[in-house]
Amino acid sequence: MLPKLLLSLLPLVVPVLSQAGAQYVDPDNGIPFWGLTEPVHGMTLGWIFPPLDSTGSLANEFIGEIVAPIDTLWAGVSPGGQMLQNLLLVAWPYDGSIVRSARYATDYVQPLAMSGPVLTDLPSTKVPKLRYTGTNSIPVNTFGVPAWVFSSIGVDTPADPQSTFQEHTDFGFFGLDWSQAHASADDYNNWAAGGTGGGTPTTTISTPTTTPTQPPVTATPYDYIVVGAGPGGLITADRLSEAGKSVLLLERGGPSTAQTGGTYGPTWAQGHNLTKFDIPGLFETMFTDSNPFWWCKDVNSFAGCLLGGGTSINGALYWIPPDSDFSPYVGWPTSWGNHGPYTAKVKSRLPSTDHPSTDGKRYLEQVSTVVSQLLNAQGYTQITINDNPDFKDHSYGYSAYDFLNGKRGGPVATYLQTAKIRKNFTLKQYVYVLNVVRNGAQITGVKTNDTSLGPDGVIPLTSKGRVILSAGSFATPRILFRSGIGPSDMINLVQNDATAGPNLPPQNQWINLPVGMNVQDNPSINLVFTHPSVDAYDNWAQVWANPRPADSSQYLKDQSGVLSQASPRMNFWRAYGASDQRTRYLQGTARPGAASVTTVYPYNASQIWTITVYLSTGITSRGRIGIDAALTARALVNPWFTDPVDKQVLIQGINDVLSTVRNVSGLTLITPDNTTTITDYVNNYDPGSLNSNHWVGSCSIGNSSSTAVVDQNTKVFNTNNLFVIDASIIPGMPMGNPHGMLMSAAEQGVAKVLNLTGGP
Ligand SMILES: Cc1cc2nc3c(=O)[nH]c(=O)nc-3n(C[C@H](O)[C@H](O)[C@H](O)COP(=O)(O)OP(=O)(O)OC[C@H]3O[C@@H](n4cnc5c(N)ncnc54)[C@H](O)[C@@H]3O)c2cc1C
Ligand SMILES: *[C@@H]1O[C@H](CO)[C@@H](O)[C@H](O)[C@H]1NC(C)=O
Ligand SMILES: *[C@@H]1O[C@H](CO)[C@@H](O)[C@H](O)[C@H]1NC(C)=O
Ligand SMILES: *[C@@H]1O[C@H](CO)[C@@H](O)[C@H](O)[C@H]1NC(C)=O
Ligand SMILES: *[C@@H]1O[C@H](CO)[C@@H](O)[C@H](O)[C@H]1NC(C)=O
Ligand SMILES: *[C@@H]1O[C@H](CO)[C@@H](O)[C@H](O)[C@H]1NC(C)=O
Ligand SMILES: *[C@@H]1O[C@H](CO)[C@@H](O)[C@H](O)[C@H]1NC(C)=O
Ligand SMILES: *[C@@H]1O[C@H](CO)[C@@H](O)[C@H](O)[C@H]1NC(C)=O
Ligand SMILES: *[C@@H]1O[C@H](CO)[C@@H](O)[C@H](O)[C@H]1NC(C)=O
């Protein structure tokens, strides 16, 4: 529906009558307005619209009032809420009457006179009435967040309706359900012609019109609202607050490590202030716990919904990115190629270690010895992996992590700690962001499930404010769909949802972008072996309830030993050419234990170990992330092996890894066993098990809105002030497990946001 605006002003002092964002009847004219009385200055703002199905000029107007104490030097109201590209009606008393005008700002300067709106006095009250036609709209059939402004400093030339004035001295937002604020055509026309009273309430919701029964919810506006406290959001929020911006970080989950107030840990660690999320050796138990409260229940893939996101529950394998991770070869714009300074920032905040035990020793390393024998026979070189990030062909080394002091480190132990001591950084946990609130291209705030944070849960931005989505590869697309941004099939699913549908902007404001397309994840295949030297460590099955006593007491003593490291022990990479002339990289991760074994032969379960073989940089297969009718986020098209060349290369790579098994005395491949060929094993592999939890690309960065969702500054195309900084912007598979390169990308992304003009 098109915009329709109108206003009348009453130069009266009227007692506080209404609740925030509710219906009240003005005692002077008997009109049942929808609006609020804000408590600080005692201003009442109200609107009433003609019926929703009005046509012609009637569809483009409303009757409204600003009732302010007579000592207000000027006051105003913005039905759209934000300063830019929104109507602002201002008024002040002068010489026994009211001077008023319609203003419109295209930049953060004095709002200029607006051409188009027509102000008309309502005969009954001898105050102006405004008829407006323009490009700007009030979402008359849904919920909105209008703003009021107030000033205790007079305008420069009170006699002149177009007088200049200083910035308001106070302002605020409130929620209003515009869809309720409609009268019958007869009533509306009566009031517009100067008639009074007679209005039948438009809804059955009865609102006390004499005494406020509860205080109106007020909201604090922020310069930046960052959604999601995973690695992307934590780095973004830290750097924004460091730059002096007011920052609100919203996280749907709660504490993780003990440092963040987490308390969930194994019995054997009780009293030691160590949680499941702190103790590296508990990584494998993330998948076997009976109460896994940390997984996002509305994402149909593993995703961490707690402080730290994936970095609080992942294996913490941590790779300093090679240059190729930011190259056009994997889809990055050339402007992102100089990652060095950003990668250096991450390294200085969060060093890597391939010997996380606090005593500097390595534990449970039998697998490492076997893997080096296997790979040495294939011409591989052993290196310290993060000392040579670009050496990724025929190289291997000890697994590297971002554990600190024998405990989970990551962005929670570093970036969050510097952010949280700043006064201008606010973290709110257990707050679920449903959608951004926007007026066309302009984002005005976010809608959350917490109505204590703002009217109807809406938290506004300051005048030049920005929203940054960092909710991860599944949840960021869902927030965009729920905000009317993405392919129309996804937005239609939202529209059909009884709860989410009404929060969508009108269809003419939907923004078509390839959200959810272009998705990648490493296809990965497990190979299981036995070797007489290997200690399978009970496949980590006992570490939660019944750890080896020597290991748990060593860990409790000084965070050293087997439990100071996650399960991986060795990693390797190799490059492959292929029939399509592209180079693809193979990664291997080796660990003691195995999740499942399929063989017709007997084997010794105490000696099992696994190599997971992944295909990474250079893969061409793409899938799609979306939502279903329940708004659960899921892969709509699996991203593995949609291009058969990827599968050919992975099969070749697995055959190469296995080519020297016989050169290692005592080594036996048990899954697949010798009754199954590698080609059959890969062809028959359960597609769901190909998942590596390394999803990228669902909001790819790029230079065109036809192929990408965010531009080179991470701004969502066709919006003014909405950004994405998380794994979803990574346009193609990086070389290794992604969180290290993602943190470099977040450092670079937030630097670009801060450098972009027009912000707060
Ligand atoms: C099981 C597993 C193991 C992994 N192992 C490794 C590994 O060893 N090494 C590695 O490099 N990578 C690993 N990864 C991948 C890595 O953890 C992710 O790539 C990384 O965490 C992505 O970061 P992100 O900031 O994009 O999103 P996330 O880490 O997913 O963070 C998103 C955050 O947003 C919050 N959120 C989501 N929706 C909303 C909402 N609507 N409102 C408010 N908050 C919201 C979530 O609660 C979460 O905290 C693993 C991932 C998984 C799942
Ligand atoms: C925000 O915090 C930073 C760092 O502590 C400080 O320099 C800056 O002045 C603060 N800005 C505001 C608006 O409080
Ligand atoms: C637990 O450890 C964290 C640091 O990791 C510390 O901040 C916190 O105060 C400790 N709590 C208790 C109860 O010792
Ligand atoms: C590996 O074993 C094969 C025979 O099975 C042998 O031909 C080859 O030379 C060995 N390679 C190495 C590097 O020892
Ligand atoms: C909002 O959602 C979060 C995450 O689901 C939940 O923990 C929290 O209790 C919800 N808040 C309210 C007020 O319902
Ligand atoms: C299985 O392996 C363990 C550990 O290497 C060993 O102690 C045990 O004797 C083996 N069992 C058999 C039946 O070979
Ligand atoms: C297949 O593997 C089993 C168990 O390891 C072994 O006994 C058998 O000899 C193997 N057969 C062939 C043909 O290699
Ligand atoms: C846009 O990006 C694509 C690859 O993502 C590239 O081929 C093309 O040259 C780029 N165009 C411009 C103008 O930079
Ligand atoms: C900052 O912006 C200017 C121009 O807007 C650009 O020339 C410069 O490269 C940007 N710097 C960074 C680090 O992106």
Are 500 and 630 found together in one domain?
Answer: yes
pLDDT at 475 over 70: yes
Q: Pocket of ligand 1, candidates 282, 289, 296, 314: which has the most ligand atoms within 8 Å of its Cβ, to mutate?
A: 314
- What pLDDT shows up at residue 536? 98
Residue whose C-alpha is closest to residue 172's, from 10, 32, 41 = 41
CA angle 194, 197, 201 (to 5 degrees): 125
Residue 476 DSSP SS3: helix
Query: Percentage of residues in the chain with pLDDT exceeding 70?
Result: 89
Final residue in a domain of this structure, among 157, 192, 227: 192
- Please check whether residue 213 lies inside any domain of the structure: no
State the Cα–Cα distance between residues 429 and 447, nearest whole angstrom. Answer: 15
Residue 531 shares a structural domain with residue 602: yes
Work out which ligand 1 atom sits closest to the CA atom of 433: 42
Give the pLDDT confidence score for residue 83 in this predicted structure: 57
Indicate if 262 and 391 belong to the same structural domain: no
Q: Does residue 660 have its Cβ closer than 6 Å to ligand 4? A: yes
The token duo for 628 is 């279903």
Residue 745 Cα to ligand 9 middle (Å): 16
Q: Which of 58, 748, 712, 747 is nearest to 331 (CA)?
A: 712
Residue 527 domain flag: yes
Residue whose Cα lies nearest atom 47 of ligand 1: it is 305
**Alpha carbon nearest to ligand 2 atom 10, residue:** 244
Catalytic-residue membership of 41: no
- Cβ of 73 below 6 Å from ligand 4: no
Residue 670 Cα: closest atom of ligand 7: 5
Q: pLDDT value at position 1?
A: 32
Strands 458-469 vs 222-227: parallel, antiparallel or unpaired:
parallel
Domain stops at, among 192, 210, 236: 192
Report the run of H or E that residue 417 belongs to, with start and end. Answer: helix 415-420
Q: Tell me the mean pLDDT in the region 442-452.
A: 97
The count of other CB atoms within 10 Å of the CB of residue 500 is: 19
Residues 123 and 154 placed together within one structural domain of the fold: yes
117-121, 144-148, 253-257: which is most confident: 253-257
Of 83 and 46, which is predicted with more confidence?
Answer: 46
**Ligand 4 in reach of 662 Cβ (< 6 A):** yes
Higher pLDDT, 182 or 660: 660
**Could you count the other beta carbons within 10 Å of the beta carbon of residue 15?**
11
pLDDT of residue 120: 63
The span from the CA of 318 to the CA of 310, in Å, is 13
* CATH number of the domain bearing residue 653: 3.30.410.10
pLDDT at 702: 98
The enclosing domain of 315 has a CATH number of 3.50.50.60
Task: Kindly state the tokens that stand for 252.
Answer: 């749907």
Residues paired with 575 in a beta bridge: 585
Cβ atoms of residues 20 and 217 within 8 Å: yes
The predicted model gives 38-60 an average pLDDT of 81
Please tell me the predicted confidence (pLDDT) of residue 8. Answer: 38
User: Do 659 and 721 lie in a common domain?
Assistant: no
pLDDT at 200 over 60: no
Rounded to whole angstroms, the Cα distance separating 663 from 667 reads 8
Q: How far is the centre of ligand 9, averaged over its atoms, from the C-alpha of 756 (Å)?
A: 7
Query: Which of the four pLDDT bands, split at 50, 70 and 90, describes residue 252?
Result: very high
Amino acid letter for position 223: D
The yes-or-no verdict on residue 209 having pLDDT over 80 is no
Is 452 inside a domain boundary?
Answer: yes
Q: Assess whether pLDDT exceeds 50 at residue 744.
A: yes
List of residues 6+ apart from 250 with CB closer than 8 A: 225, 226, 227, 228, 229, 428, 431, 433, 446, 448, 459
CB burial of residue 627 (10 Å; 0-12, 13-18, 19+)? buried
pLDDT at 449 over 70: yes
- Specify whether 440 is located in the same domain as 365: no
Assess whether pLDDT exceeds 70 at residue 701: yes
C-alpha count within 13 angstroms, C-beta hemisphere, residue 285: 24
Cis peptide bond prior to 672, omega within 30° of 0? yes
Residues 97 and 161 in one domain: yes
DSSP string, 158-201: TT-TT---PPPSEEEE--EEGGG-B--HHHHHHHHTT----PPP
Ligand nearest to the backbone CA of 759: 9
What span, in angstroms and rounded, lies between the C-alpha atoms of 371 and 383?
13
Residues 147, 248: one domain? no
More confident residue, 178 or 229: 229
Q: Is 162 in the pocket of ligand 6 (CB under 6 A)?
A: no
* pLDDT value for 241: 98
Structural domain total, the chain: 3
Gyration radius of the chain over CA positions: 30
Cβ–Cβ under 8 Å, residues 24 and 33: yes
Res. 454: pLDDT tops 50: yes
Distance of alpha carbon 700 from alpha carbon 693, whole angstroms? 17
How far is residue 462's CA from residue 448's CA, in Å, rounded to a whole number?
17
The pLDDT, as a whole number, for residue 85 is: 62
The pLDDT-based confidence of 109 (bands split at 50, 70, 90) is low
Helix (H, G, I), strand (E, B) or coil at 326: helix
List, for residues 58-89, the tens digit of each pLDDT value: 887 888 888 887 778 888 888 876 655 667 88
Q: Which residue, by CA, sits nearest to atom 11 of ligand 4?
A: 377
Nearest to 353 by CA among 744, 743, 740: 740
Can you tell me the mean pLDDT for 142-161? 81
Distance between CA 244 and CA 220 in Å, rounded?
A: 17
The percentage of residues in the chain with a pLDDT greater than 90, rounded to a whole number, is 71
CA distances from 265 to 251, 458, 548, 569, 663 (A): 21, 35, 17, 24, 43
Within the chain, what is the greatest distance between any pair of CA atoms? 101
- How far is ligand 3, taken at its centre, from the CA of residue 273, in Å? 6
Run of H or E residues at 473 = helix 472-482
Cα(421) to centroid(ligand 3), Å = 16
- Residue closest by Cα to atom 12 of ligand 8: 703
Q: Is residue 65 part of a domain?
A: yes
Question: Mean per-residue pLDDT for 581-601?
Answer: 97
In this predicted model, which residue has the larger pLDDT, 21 or 404?
Answer: 404
Tokens representing 525 are 């295949």
Angle made by CA atoms 186, 190, 191, in degrees to the nearest 5: 125
Instruction: State whether 490 and 599 are in the same domain.
Output: no
Atom of ligand 7 nearest to the CA of 601: 4
Return d(Cα 355, Cα 336) in angstroms, integer.
Answer: 32
Confidence of residue 26 (pLDDT cuts 50, 70, 90): confident
Pocket (CB within 6 angstroms of ligand 2): 241-242, 244, 246, 422-424
pLDDT for 410 beyond 70:
yes
Alpha helices (runs of H) in 580-660, residue ranges in sequence order: 644-658
Question: Ligand 3 site: residues with CB under 6 angstroms?
Answer: 258-259, 273
Torsion (CA) 700, 704, 707, 713 in degrees, nearest 10? 0
- Final residue in a domain of this structure, among 690, 706, 725: 690
Q: Tens of pLDDT along 718-734? A: 999 999 999 999 999 99
* In contact, 345 and 747? CB cutoff 8 Å: yes
Q: Domain residues for 386?
A: 354-399+523-615+645-690
List the residue whose alpha carbon is closest to atom 3 of ligand 5.
430
Q: Are 476 and 470 spatial neighbours (Cβ–Cβ below 8 Å)?
A: yes
Convert the pLDDT of each residue in 492-546 to its tens digit: 999 999 999 999 999 999 999 999 999 999 999 999 999 999 999 999 999 999 9
Q: What is the enclosing helix (H) or strand (E) of 86?
A: none
Across the range 339-367, mean pLDDT stands at 98
d(CA 758, CA 584): 41
Q: Could you tell me the CA-to-CA distances from 442 to 9, 426, 446 in Å, in that order?
A: 28, 23, 12
301 and 445 within one domain: yes
Specify the 3-state DSSP secondary structure of 507.
Answer: helix
Q: How far is the CA of 255 from the centre of ligand 3 (A)?
A: 13
Q: Helix axis angle, 472-482 relative to 488-495, nearest 10°? A: 70
Closest ligand 3 atom to residue 407 Cα is: 5
pLDDT of residue 7: 35
Q: Does 37 fall in a domain?
A: yes
CA gap 565, 497 in Å, rounded: 45
Ligand nearest the Cα atom of residue 663: 4
pLDDT of 155 strictly over 50: yes
Q: Is the pLDDT at 211 greater than 80, yes or no?
A: no
Give the pocket of ligand 1 (CB within 6 Å): 227-233, 250-253, 302-305, 309-311, 313-317, 432-433, 470-472, 475, 479, 693-694, 726-727, 737-740, 742
Per-residue model confidence (pLDDT) at position 121: 60
Q: How is residue 602 written in tokens?
A: 């007997």
pLDDT at 210 over 60: no
Beta bridge partners of 295: 304
Lowest mean pLDDT segment, chosen from 30-39, 148-157, 165-174, 380-389: 165-174
Query: What confidence category does residue 126 fall into, taking pLDDT thresholds of 50, 70 and 90?
Result: very low
Encode pLDDT of 260-282 as tens digits.
999 999 999 999 999 999 999 99
- How far, rounded to the nearest angstrom, does the alpha carbon of residue 520 sit from its chain's CA centroid? 18
Helix (H) or strand (E) holding 416: helix 415-420
Residue 364 in domain:
yes
Q: How much is the pLDDT for 400?
A: 98
Are residues 578 and 653 part of one domain? yes
Pocket of ligand 8 from Cβ distances under 6 Å: 331, 702-703
Q: How far is CA 47 from CA 25, 34, 263, 625, 716, in A?
A: 11, 5, 50, 41, 33
- Using the mean position of ligand 2's atoms as its centre, give its distance from the Cα of residue 509 in Å: 36
For residue 644, what pLDDT band results from cuts at 50, 70 and 90? Answer: very high
The chain-wide mean pLDDT, for the chain, equals: 90
* Residue 203 domain-assigned (yes or no): no
Alpha-carbon distances of 547 from 406, 425, 431, rounded to whole Å = 17, 40, 36
Indicate which CATH number applies to the domain containing 28: 2.60.40.1210
| 587-611 exposure pattern, b = at least 16 Cβ within 10 A, e = fewer | bbbbbbbbeebebeeebeeebbbbb
Q: What gap in Å lies between CA 33 and CA 176, rounded to an integer?
A: 11
331: CA distance to ligand 8 center in Å?
A: 9
List the structure tokens of 751: 């630097």
Distance in Å, CA 253 to ligand 5 centroid: 8
Q: Is the pLDDT of residue 141 over 60?
A: yes
Q: Which residue, among 733, 492, 731, has the nearest Cα to 626 in the 3D structure?
A: 492
Within this chain, do residues 412 and 282 fall inside the same structural domain, yes or no?
Answer: yes
Here the tokens at position 281 are 């050796």
Please check whether residue 486 lies inside any domain of the structure. Answer: yes
- In the chain, the amino acid numbered 39 is P
Instruction: Name which residue leads in pLDDT, 144 or 317.
Output: 317
